């Protein structure tokens, strides 16, 4: 993840994203960069319009936000229903067993 963050930081600073700059940035942050990962990320980002990717990611996150709230409220309702159920005690369990065996 730190590789992507580094690339985004370089982009935000208006710098070209290349292996040397990304390697230096990661090294300065205390991360030991892996050459293969650097090359792979830089090669992958050459064909990506980062501004468009950021805008599309923001839109997707905002659109998904309301559904998360709905799931949380449903989860709270389920917990409330579980709390309403009376707990069976040992005497009731034993009475049920005795009725099986007469």
pLDDT digits (tens, 9 = 90+) for 52-71: 888 888 665 555 555 555 56
Three-state DSSP class for 75? helix
- CA-CA distance, 59 to 75, in Å (whole number)? 26
- CA-CA distance, 62 to 31, in Å (whole number)? 32
For the entire predicted model, the pTM comes to: 0.54
| pLDDT for residue 24 is more than 60 | yes
């Amino acid at each position: 993840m730190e590789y992507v963050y580094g690339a985004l930081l370089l982009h935000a600073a208006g710098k070209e994203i290349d292996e040397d700059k990304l390697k230096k940035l990661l090294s300065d942050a205390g991360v030991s960069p892996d050459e293969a990962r650097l090359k792979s990320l830089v090669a992958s980002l050459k064909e990506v319009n980062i501004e468009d990717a950021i805008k599309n990611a923001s839109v997707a996150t905002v659109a998904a936000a309301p559904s998360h709230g709905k799931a949380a409220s449903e989860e709270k309702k389920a917990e409330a229903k579980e709390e309403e159920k009376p707990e069976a005690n040992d005497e009731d369990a034993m009475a049920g067993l005795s009725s099986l065996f007469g």
